[in-house]
């Protein structure tokens, strides 16, 4: 179960939009395997009869009214950290051909 192939690493990298060198693929292959080995240990715990825990706060129905909130941030501030912008848009690498 915990055997990760080089192709698995490459696929995960692709899904995460990361470009990995061959050395990095080898490196992450080992690291991801180590992580999965650890998870295997967790999986050996007996959880029969237990409901999965998604939340620990015990809260339900945390709702807000359908009204505008002043977050105190301007368009300029929110765009400030974008590496590139044009005409008030975030400018990114072309997505389509």
Partner 1 sequence: MKYKATIGIECHVQLSTKTKLFAGVDNDAREAEANTLISPLCVGLPGTLPVLNEKALELAIRAGIALNAKIAEYSKFDRKHYFYPDLPLGYQITQYDEPTILSGVVEAPLPSGGSVKVRVHHAHLEADAGKSTHPVGKNYSLVDLNRAGTPLIEIVSEPDMHTAEEAKAYARELYLLMKYAGVSDVNLFYGNMRFDVNVSVSATDELGTRTETKNINSFRAVEKVVEYEIARQIKELEAGNNIDQETRGWDDNAQKTFPQRSKENAHDYRYFPDPDLPPVVISSEVVEKERALMPTMPALLRTKFSELSIDSAKVEALLEEPTIAHELENIIDAHDINTAKMIANWYSGEIARLVGEEEITWDQVIGASARLIDLVAMIDGGLLSTTAAKDILKDLISSEKSAKEIAEEKDLMQVSDSGELEMIIMQVISENQKAANDIKAGEMKAIGFLVGQVMKASGGKANPGVVQDLLRQSLGL
Q: What is the CA radius of gyration of the chain?
A: 22
Residue owning tokens 């400030």: 80
Query: Is the Cα torsion angle 50, 52, 57, 62 positive or negative in sign?
Result: negative
CA 56 to chain centre: 21
Contact between 78 and partner 1 by CB under 8 A: the answer reads: yes
Does 79 interact with partner 1 (rule: CB under 8 A)?
Answer: yes
Q: Confirm if 25 and 10 have CB atoms less than 8 A apart.
A: yes
Shortest Å distance, C-beta 68 to partner 1: 5
Residue 5 as a binder of partner 1 (CB under 8 A): the answer is no
Q: Does 41 bind partner 1 (CB under 8 A)?
A: no
Using the contact rule CB under 8 A, the part of the chain among 1-9, 10-18, 24-32, 35-43 near partner 1 is: 10-18
Q: Given the rule CB under 8 A, which residues bind partner 1? A: 11, 14-17, 54-55, 57, 59-69, 71, 73, 75, 78-79, 84, 86-97
């Amino acid at each position: 179960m915990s055997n990760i192939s080089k192709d698995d690493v490459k696929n995960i990298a692709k899904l995460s939009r990361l470009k990995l060198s061959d050395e990095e693929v080898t490196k992450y292959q080992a690291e991801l395997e180590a992580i999965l080995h650890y998870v295997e240990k967790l999986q050996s715990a007996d959880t029969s009869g237990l409901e999965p825990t998604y939340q620990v706060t015990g809260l339900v129905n945390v709702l807000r009214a359908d009204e505008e909130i002043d977050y105190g941030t301007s368009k300029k501030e929110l765009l400030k950290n974008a590496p590139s912008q044009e005409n008030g848009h975030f400018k990114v690498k072309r997505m389509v051909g």
